[in-house]
Amino acid sequence: MDVHLRRLARIRALIADEPELPPLPGGANGAAGSRRSAGVGHFGGAPGSLERLCRAAARALTASGVGLSVMTGEGMHGVVAASDATSALVEELQFTVGEGPCVEAVASGRPVLASDLDQMVTQWPAYAPAARECGMRAVFAFPLQIGALRIGAMDIYSNRRGALSVAALNEAFAFAEIALLTVLDGQDQAPAGEAAAVLQDGLSARAELHQAQGLLSAHLRVDLAEAMIQLRAYAFSHDRPLLDVARDVVGRKLDLTPDGPDSDDDHGSANLTLDDR
């Protein structure tokens, strides 16, 4: 128990030492500044602390990158932090295709340790090849959980195949625990009805996704779930990040109505369109 507490303390110090960097591209529409919480919590609940956690973890584990996603019940999910832009992309990929290590770790409540992504193609037919294309060879996902409660997962990426050492596993578990505590602590300090300050950058980055969802739902006269399916299908079949597609829909640069200029009807690919339902 002692060893564990000391490990947690050491990792918190690592995170505190990590320099502050501006939010990743595509993040915070200036929302981060206005939402900075007045008090700093026990685990440093300031916006940016989860990014620092990801970078500190990548450094400590000599990983290519680390991503953090929150997944609550009812499918509310998304990337909230990552150590770098590539990790953010690969992290987001899971939500575009609906499968991947984080998704599985949260579903099972156990770590998912894929030391060779080439072996995972049957299990993750959409995710594995796409992650490989981004340069990832191995991925290790740790659920953020306490008891039966799971709120998300932390993904560790490597550009080399191979398992994590026991020491690295212990470090990873500790980072995941601190991530969980940071989110919960941050949520405790949030004003009623609002999400934790540490999550605001990630939520702001997804704002356009939900706007696009609403816009498309009204435009196509379909429900919100269907609208999201269409966005994800388009992103996947055109090999574009979901958030980029959303930005274009919101910016009126992309029209996904059937028979519209950007609809998939003339591409002949197996996507969901209104006619296919």
Q: Is 76 in the site for another protein (CB under 8 A)?
A: yes
Least distance to another protein from the beta carbon of 120, Å? 29
Q: Is 72 in the site for another protein (CB under 8 A)?
A: yes
Cβ contact 149:170 at 8 Å: no
Report the residue number, 98 or 214, with the smaller CB distance to another protein: 214
Least distance to another protein from the beta carbon of 198, Å? 11
Cβ contact 139:158 at 8 Å: yes
Q: Is 196 in the site for another protein (CB under 8 A)?
A: yes
Report the residue number, 25 or 147, with the smaller CB distance to another protein: 147
Binding letters toward another protein, positions 199-218, x by CB under 8 A: x---x--xxxxxxxxxxxxx
Size of the site for another protein (CB under 8 A): 39
Q: Is 194 in the site for another protein (CB under 8 A)?
A: yes
Which residue in the set 19, 25, 34, 148 belongs to the binding site for another protein (CB under 8 A)?
148
Q: Is 245 in the site for another protein (CB under 8 A)?
A: no
Which residue in the set 183, 197, 231, 254 belongs to the binding site for another protein (CB under 8 A)?
183
Least distance to another protein from the beta carbon of 158, Å? 30
Report the residue number, 147 or 268, with the smaller CB distance to another protein: 147
Least distance to another protein from the beta carbon of 73, Å? 6
- CA max distance for the chain: 64
Please name the residues in contact with 132: beta carbons below 8 A apart, sequence gap of 6 or more: 117, 118
Site for another protein in 11-70 (CB under 8 A): 70
Least distance to another protein from the beta carbon of 239, Å? 24
Q: Is 224 in the site for another protein (CB under 8 A)?
A: yes
Strand order in the sheet with 77-82: 77-82, 65-71, 149-158, 138-146, 112-114
Q: Is 102 in the site for another protein (CB under 8 A)?
A: no
Report the residue number, 89 or 249, with the smaller CB distance to another protein: 249
Q: Is 126 in the site for another protein (CB under 8 A)?
A: no
Q: Is 151 in the site for another protein (CB under 8 A)?
A: yes
Query: How many other CB atoms are found less than 10 A from the CB of residue 144?
Result: 26
Which residues are near another protein by CB under 8 A?
A: 70, 72-74, 76, 146-149, 151, 183-184, 187-188, 190, 193-196, 199, 203, 206-219, 223-225, 250
